[in-house]
Chain A
Amino acid sequence: MIRRIAYALALPLLLFGGWWVLSAGSESFYAPPLSEILTAFGNTWTLSALRSDVLPSLLRLLSGYLLAAVIGIGLGLAIGVNRRLRFTVEPVLELFRAVPPPVLVPVIMLFAGIGDGMKVIVIVFGCVWPVLLNTVEGVRAVDGVVLETARSYGVTGPARITRVILPSAGPQIAAGLRQALSIAIILMVISEMFAASNGLGFTIVQFQRSFAIPEMWSGIILLGLLGFALSLLFRLAERRALRWYEGLRAAQRRAG
């Protein structure tokens, strides 16, 4: 246990220490000493700054992400269970997914202006495709024996969806949700860089434009921590929800 913690911490500490030492006497304008960045971090990201800049970003991120998840899973179920519908819309969906999500920002600005609504819609539009396509794929791949068992035991209607199809497609849906999460963070930042009066992306760009370099670095670090924390939360939730899947896979590996 102690050994594992030591292994996990060794390299990060080393890197951090290296950065500290190497940058200590730095005269470079763009790479200020780490000590300065950390001081800036403490000064910049006070509680009130977190409330006025990070909280709005997070709220937009979460509402867009959750909306995209609900829409993506709902539509994905409908398309996944209907073969003809799936064949009809699949190329369209592939095209939409291939459009780099950030180019949606200028498009959606046309429709929804530059308010919170625009940012949420941008996140929804960017995140919905991986969720949707993965749900379709997961639903399509539900085992035939599973479906026949459900049918012959009278598991039909809503129970068929919630107790059989959704859990069975769960691992694939989770993969889509994971992809969507990183897209959501990117879009949150970019939509704020384009047009905003608050938010993390906006603040970092402001620092860069006013050449407040240590502050800018502290913003980058905060963004990194945020991305890390969200992906950690996601992993925890996923592990809880899909415990059966991890166990099944481990059992299959042992047998195989």
Chain B
Amino acid sequence: MTPVRRGNPAWLGHPAILGVAGLAGLLLVIQLLPTLGLVNDRHLPPTSAILAALADELGTGQFWISLKDTLVAWAWGVLIAVGAGVLAGLAIGSVPVLRELTASTVEFLRPIPSVALIPLAVLLYGTEIGSTLLLVCYAAFWQVLVQVLYGVADVDPVAEETARSYRFSAWARVRYVLWPTALPYVFTGVRLAASVALILAITAELVIGSPGLGKDIAVAQASEAVPTMYALIVVTGVLGVLINLLARFGERHLLGWHQSVRGEVIA
């Protein structure tokens, strides 16, 4: 039972108010820690310095070029991964023999950390955007593929048998039975792929030095522009939150009819 709190106006307990208070509290703590000397301000600059650096960054052309580079690599990566993942997933999923044959391989390849490919990417593409793309595609592909495979496995056997008894062609089975069942899973896959792709894009830029926000973070670190480094990290975090919100929003809007009939697959 939730105890009734008296004396507090109801709006004080509103989730949005509490959430804003939490964020404000974070900013305040980061402001106070260095100003009170609890943390060396060369390690953690106060909020005001980070915000000033952020404002500076927003005024430079370099920042916007980097942001564009990161987003371009991200978008292409998601696009390629989703296309390849959906096609491969449907193909594998609709043929039982293929499903059995590939199960072990998928299980083996999936947990291979994408960063293992960094040296390979460097050798192949150097510090071009192709390096970023390779890592992004690899990591995002598995997210989509696995979700599509879940989705195809979820097809109602009765629906499948109905389609067979009416002698649907293979194409019609995919189009009218497989695809609609798998669609919500595809969206979950896209959502997961979108956030993984951002992480990998920035990681690749950071480690390899291909153009983008990640590279700028590495440059800021090397030149000891600590507030700038924090400002850029904040940007990546906000970008991640936005991509997440956007993906959730899109999923809910495009799949409003489907939410009630399925539970979220925890992956």
Residues of chain A within 8 A (CB-CB) of B237 are: 95-96, 98-99
Question: Interface with A: B81-89, B106-114, B163-171, B178-186, which one?
Answer: B106-114
| B224-267 interface with A by 8 A CB criterion | 226, 229-230, 233, 236-241, 243-244, 266-267
B146, CB-defined interface residue at 8 Å: no
* Interface: A103 (CB within 8 A): yes
| Cβ contact within 8 Å between A88 and B241 | no
Inter-subunit contact A106/B217 (CB<8 Å): yes
User: Are A223 and B124 in contact, with the CB atoms below 8 A?
Assistant: no
Mostly helix, strand, loop or mixed at chain A's interface? helix
Q: CA of A90 to CA of B238 in the docked complex: distance in angstroms? A: 14
How many Cβ-Cβ contacts under 8 Å join chain A to chain B?
162
Report Cα–Cα, A228/B195, bound state, in Å: 22
> B15, B22, B43 — which one has the most chain A CB atoms within 10 A of its CB?
B22
Select the stretch in A2-10, A34-42, A115-123, A158-166 that faces chain B: A2-10
The answer to whether B104 and A9 have CB atoms under 8 Å apart is yes
Number of interface residues of A (CB under 8 A): 58
Question: Could you tell me if A15 and B105 are in contact, using CB atoms closer than 8 angstroms?
Answer: yes
A91 to B114, CA, bound (A): 28
| Residues from chain A with Cβ under 8 Å of B123 in the complex | 30, 208, 213, 216
For the complex, is A1 an interface residue (Cβ under 8 Å from B)? Answer: no
Given the interface pairs A30-B123, A189-B116, the reply to whether A100 lies near B105 with Cβ below 8 Å is no
Given contacts A11-B102, A11-B105, A102-B203, contact A204 B113 (CB under 8 A): no
Chain A interfacial positions (CB closer than 8 Å to B)? 4, 7-12, 15, 30, 83-84, 87-92, 94-103, 105-107, 109-111, 171-172, 175, 182, 185-186, 189-190, 193-194, 201, 204-205, 207-208, 213, 216, 219-220, 223-224, 227-228, 230-231
Residues of B within 8 A of A (CB): 2, 13, 15, 18-23, 25-26, 42-44, 100-105, 107-120, 122-124, 195, 198-199, 202-203, 206-207, 214, 217-218, 221, 226, 229-230, 233, 236-241, 243-244, 266-267
